[in-house]
Structure formats: structure tokens, C-alpha cells
A = this chain, B = another copy of it.
Amino acid sequence: MRESPRRPIILKRRKLPFLKSESDLGCDEADGTRCKTTSTQSTARSFPDGIRVMDHPTMPDTQVVVIPKSADLQSVISVLTAKGKECGPQGRNKFILLSGDTSLEESKTLGCFSTELGSELGKVKKESECFPLDDSLTNIQWLGKMSSDGLGSEKCPNKDNPNDSQQQSKGPEKENDPHSERPPYSYMAMIQFAINSKNNRHMTLKEIYNWIEDHFPYFRDVAKPGWKNSIRHNLSLHDMFIRETSPDGKISYWTIRPEANRCLTLDQVYKQKRGAPELKKAIPALGGTERKMKPLLPRTDSYLVPIQLPLGQSLFLPTSSPVSLSTPPQTQNSSTPSSSKRVRIAPKVSQSDLSSVLLCKPASQEIKEEPVFQPVTSSEAPPPKSRRTDNSSSRRKQRLVLPATEEPVLLYPDSTLFDSGVISDISTFQDTREADPKPELDSPNREYSFKTPIKSSHPSSSTPSKLPTVTLEPWRITPVGKGGVLDFSPIRTPTGPHVTPQRNQHTSLSFTSTPFKELPLFNSPRELLTCSRSSPKRSAPACSRELLQVGAANRSLTEGLVLDTMNDSLSKILVDISFSGLEDEDLGMGNISWSQFIPELK
């Protein structure tokens, strides 16, 4: 099984079992080149299962935990517990979890896309099937420039052209790179970038437009004007974006629901340059099928690791320092088959809260309290590896890794962790004036790329598939038996051992009981993160806590959920863990497994 010629499987859009220390957990499933879990030279301390922990370069209270693909969740927990005890409540009690065999130094494991953390040397190009060469994963500044933070350090002063100056410091002028490719970020991501770039974390629509145009010339130059429609659509559609009104009611500001805000900025996100777009036509070969997505934002809608977080401390990613914005469009890294006319659909992106993960404290207000960590000593589950013959493989759609028998035993944040609230200074309130209303005069070089699905063939499949239409690469047209739809589907890795933990027995009673009560349990990854929408009254992190009362127990227990970023190259797991009382006594829930509380499980 599993050699999809494309991308490492762990970086593909799939669930990360994270409990299986299977070999197929990691990248072995992805490319032919098995990344040998090369525990590359890492200056950081190593822990069991190859887990490495190192201090965050800039954040004093944060450590970075690199978790190999083969690591067991229990090992992760024990490492976190140990580190938490070691550092004590005053020490670095926040952790950023990274998956993959990465090292902060130079990384670049075999063919496996390793995550370059501090340097920009790493390159990842997943067109060719894991040919480790010409990868062009550019700088991962998400660790780099989290220094310029606090209040007002970056006011993004006048919106007229504040960021231009910053960009120029980094790369070529925006006029210089005329090819301005479409950035690999979804609209939702870009809107987050834009809003989070402001210190007060709200923007008018026009400011969002301008920010995006300034940072992604593609939209200013080549995109059809409909992209603004899409921006508005995204603002309305996603409830993570909420509209606020100025006191005088004259202006609408778009903000990000604070619980949902991961404070993603352009810097923090890893940006990938693609090379010359024309080569895409020239090189039709290789399994790249060209419909793959460029790496996008790390997806928050993935697995969460809810962890005991008794106090309102949260990791603060200081909002993009406007300086040294590695403006995405420059450094075109030679031939990249990416920029075809077919608009790629950006993979899922940081949608909602990640309640306990990376909550940003917008400014000031340090309410550091004593964190308490529940020592998780689950002596339960670490279940057999690769028991894929498990017949109870619930034959249903994408379920999350769920509280099956191999539950990670994790406690859940019990306290309000967003108490500090986002107090955006009203003083910086009127900097939203006008934002140069130049009407943009109709995009000079509008090329009418018919992105509208042509679909000239007869429709047979219910989910329409886009034909290559232009430059139809014949080698690619694997004539499908049924409808003539060309199927470019990658070689599906048959899920591997990746035993889908069937947790769905719980619905047995849900059919009879009040259905609402059993709604959670996270049928979809998004539900996992978007559920804290209501209950406006409590300013506390309504989301994550509520998720936990799902099962039978009303305790602040949650299923073990692991964020997998489903990013193409870098999967970041950002977990905010607080350690307060390290005495292992708190509730004695250290080794509680889900099966105790959810009888339907196992």
C-alpha cells in the first residue's frame, strides 16, 4: 500500500491517527522515499520515541516539541508531563507541537518534507513524486518573527501603504515581479492574515481588500474582480469573522472571533514559492497531476489535543511583525507547474478556534495564573499496532480519530482560558479612514481565463470533476470505466493500518435520547472547532470546555484529539499547555480512558 507518488501522506489531507506507532503513520506512506525517521541532528533534548524538545527561540515561556511520526501519543503526553514538571509552573509551560522528523536546524529529512523552522534553506516541491530536489519551501517565519508584538508596535499605521515599505525590505518591489502568482492561501486564510496584521485586529472591508492586494499582487493584477466578491462571501460565510460596528455606527469592522483566532499572520505561515508557471504546461509528466494543492495554512480543523489547561494562560503569537514580511510573490523558484488557469482549491485552513490551542492575547493584559497540569499516566490503551484487520471498521465517512479503545488519556482545560478578553484599543480606532479609495481601474491585464467549469463531457459523476481542457495531458487521462470523467485521483493509500477508531457506538443511544446532547463527538473536524459559537455570555473559552461533556461523563474530559495540520509540508501542532500543580494529585484522572466514561466505546 501507500506509495502515493505525490505528497507525504501525513501531510495529505487525512487524519492523523497519532496513536498508532505504525510505520505508515508518517511519510512512508507518502512517497517512495521512506523517510527513515532519521532523527536528524537536533540540538534539542531527545525524549522517548524520538520526541525532541527545545526552547522556543523567542518566546520565553514556550518550548517546541517535535514529535516523530512514529511517536506514541502516550509518549508525547509523558514528555509533556515531564517537561512540565521539570520546568515548573513558572518555567516554559507552553508547548508548540510539531509533527514530523524535523529539526530546528537544517532538517530536510530524506524525501519526507521536513519542516524548516528557522532557516529558509528547505525547499519542498511536491510536484514530482517526492523528488527531494528542487523543493522550494521558503522561509518559515512563523517561529522567527514573533517578537514585534505587544501594543502598537506595529500599528500598520495608515493602511494606505504601510506594508509596502516593509515588503520592500524583504524582497523585490511588487512591480518587479510581474508574474504575481496566486498565493497558496485560501481566502479565509488571507483574511486572517489581513486582520491579524492590524494591532487592534479589526479591519474594514476595504482595508482587507487593500491588504490583500498589497501583499498578493495577484489579486491586484491578474485576478478577476470577482475575488472581492469571494472575500465578502468568506467574511459572511465563516462565522469566525464577525462584523462589529463602530460606536457611531458608521463603520463596520471585521474581526475574528477571539476564540477562533489563531493569530495567523503571513510571517507565521510557511510560504511556498512556485517557479515559472509556464513550465507547468511544458512538463505534464510526473504524477503531479497538477491538481494538488499548494501547501496552505496549517489546518486547525484537525485533531486537537485538548490538555488540562486550568488557567487562562494562552500562547500568544504576537501578530505578524510587519517588518520583513516575506512577501509571498517574490523569489519565484523556477519552473513550478502550479499556476495553471485552473483555480486550485486551497486546502482546509485554520478555521475555528482550536480552543485551547494558540489563543492569542491581543495586547497587554497579562493574567498569568498558575497553570495546573494533570499528569497523564494513562496505563490504558496504547493498543496493538496496525491491527488493520479490525473488522469493526465503521464503514462511514470521515470520522475523526475518536475515543475508541485506544483513547489518548488527556484531560481537558477546566478553566476559562480566554478571560483576558480582547481589548482592542479604541484609540487606534480611527486609523481606518478611507484607505485610498482608488478604484483600481479594472485590472489592466485581465485575462479571461475560463475558470468556469467547462465540463463539456457528459455529466456522470455526481461530484463534477474538472477536465484539463487545455493542454490535456494524454498520459493522465486514465479512462475511467463509468462516466467519461477523467480520474486523476492519486493512488489512494488504503488507509493503512490507520485503524479508524470506531467510536460511533455512542450513537446507539443517541437515537433514542435527546439528539442534541450527542451532537458533538465531532462528526466533522470542523465541528470540533466551531462549536463555541453560542453562549456569548461567558467570555470564557466556551468552546473547548463544552466539547468535553460530550460523552457520558460530565467531567472536563475530552477525547484525545490531535491536530494534524494536513499541510503539504509542515504540520504544526500548537498546543497551549499550562502546568500549575504538578503534584499528580489534582483529580487523579491521569489514567482515565474514554471507555470508562463512554460505555459505548469498546
Contacts and interface: CB of A to CB of B under 8 A. Distances in A.
Interface in A440-497: 442-443, 446, 448, 452-456, 458-464, 482-483
A243 interface: yes
B512 A423 contact: yes
A244 interface: yes
Nearest to A520: B536
Given A247-B508, A395-B250, A511-B429, A459 B224 contact: yes
Main secondary structure of the interface of A (DSSP, over half): loop
A30 to B, nearest CB: 26
B536 A535 contact: no
A459 B512 contact: no
Given A394-B249, A507-B245, A519 B421 contact: no
Contacts of A128: none
A310 B60 CA distance: 52
Interface string A414-437: 000011111111100100000000
Interface in A296-325: none
A519 B257 contact: yes
A461 B537 CA distance: 40
Interface stretch (A7-15, A405-413, A541-549): A541-549
Pick the most buried of A504, A505, A511: most chain B CB atoms within 10 A of its CB.
A511
A107 interface: no
Interface stretch (A32-40, A145-153, A170-178, A526-534): A526-534
A61 interface: no
B250 A394 contact: yes
A513 B421 contact: yes
Interface residues of A, number: 97
A236 B524 contact: yes
Given A252-B396, A396-B249, A511-B244, A229 B463 contact: yes
Given A244-B510, A483-B442, A516 B502 contact: no
Contacts of A100: none
A225 interface: yes
**A-B pairs, 9 with minimum CB distance:** A421-B514, A249-B394, A247-B508, A228-B462, A245-B504, A249-B504, A452-B452, A514-B539, A537-B549
Given A257-B516, A429-B511, A442-B482, 17 more contacts: A225-B461, A232-B462, A248-B505, A249-B395, A249-B396, A258-B514, A258-B516, A421-B514, A421-B515, A421-B516, A422-B514, A448-B456, A516-B542, A532-B534, A533-B534, A536-B547, A537-B546
30 contacts: A202-B511, A227-B462, A228-B462, A229-B462, A232-B462, A236-B524, A239-B527, A239-B530, A244-B515, A245-B394, A245-B396, A247-B504, A247-B505, A247-B511, A248-B392, A249-B395, A249-B396, A257-B519, A258-B516, A259-B516, A421-B517, A422-B514, A422-B515, A422-B516, A439-B482, A442-B458, A448-B458, A452-B453, A514-B539, A536-B549
